[in-house]
Amino acid sequence: MRAFIIGNGKSLLSKDLDLIVGQPSYACNRINLIYPLTEWRPSVYCHVESFAPNVPYIQQNIDSRITCWIGEHFEKEITGNVKWIKDCHHHLYNFDSPEVPDEWHMPQPCTFGGTVNYMMQRAVLDGFDELILLGCDLEYRDRKPSHFDKNYEHGGEQPAFYASRNAFYGHVQGINWIRRKGKNVRIYNATRGGLLELWPRVELADYV
C-alpha cells in the first residue's frame, strides 16, 4: 500500500497536492498555511517537537476528520480529537549526540530529527510499505525563509546547520532500519529539487 509523506520545504506546490487528493497522506507542523490553495487535506497530521510557542498553530491543525498525532508533552495544552505520541526524548538531541540511535527503534517510533521522520515510521506502522516523499528539501537557511510559505517561520527554528543535518540523519535511521531488519519497505523521493538524495528519485506524476 502506498502513502505520501508531505514535508514543508520551499518546493512544495499546491498543484502537486491537487494530484493526491483522496490518497493516503501524512503532513505536519504548519501545513494548514497551504490549505487555501488546494482541496487536498492529509489523512494524518503529526507534530513531534516540544517547542512551547508551537501550540497555537498545532491547535489550528486539529480536525476531527483528520487523524492527529501530537507529542504527549502537549497533552495539557492541546484539545480536540488527538492521539498522543509517546515521548522517547530523542527529539531533544542533535545528530552528533551519542544519545541518538542510528536506526528507528520500532514499534515505538523515534521522535528524533523532526516530524517527517516520525511520519515515515507512523505510515509503516499503519501498514503502508511504499512511501512517496514530497516537499522534503533539506535546504534550511538561517534567518531566511526555508518553507513553502513566507509566513511559516515563527522565530523558534533550529540553526540551519542542525536542522538540515538532523533531518538528514533521520532518513539515515530509516535506511538502517530497513536494511538491518530486512523490511520490505520502499521509499522514494518525489521532491522538486532539494538536497535529499538518500532515496531513489521519482516523478510524482508517475505515482498518482
The domain locations on the chain are: 2-207
- What's the pLDDT at 154? 73
Could you give the maximum distance between any two Cα atoms of the chain, in Å? 43
Q: What's the CATH number for 2-207? A: 3.90.1480
Q: Which own/partner contact pairs does 196-204 have at CB distance under 8 Å and 24+ positions apart?
A: 196/133, 196/136, 196/137, 196/138, 196/168, 196/171, 198/168, 198/171, 198/172, 199/133, 199/171, 202/132, 204/16, 204/19, 204/20, 204/132, 204/134
pLDDT at position 155, please? Answer: 63
Per-residue pLDDT of the chain (208 residues; tens, 9 = 90+): 999 999 999 999 999 999 999 999 999 999 999 999 999 999 999 999 887 778 988 999 999 999 999 999 999 999 999 999 999 999 999 999 999 999 999 999 999 999 999 999 999 999 999 999 999 999 999 888 899 998 898 766 788 999 999 999 999 999 999 999 999 999 999 999 999 999 999 999 999 8
Mean pLDDT of the chain: 94
Query: How many whole angstroms separate alpha carbon 55 and alpha carbon 64?
Result: 17
Size of the chain in residues: 208
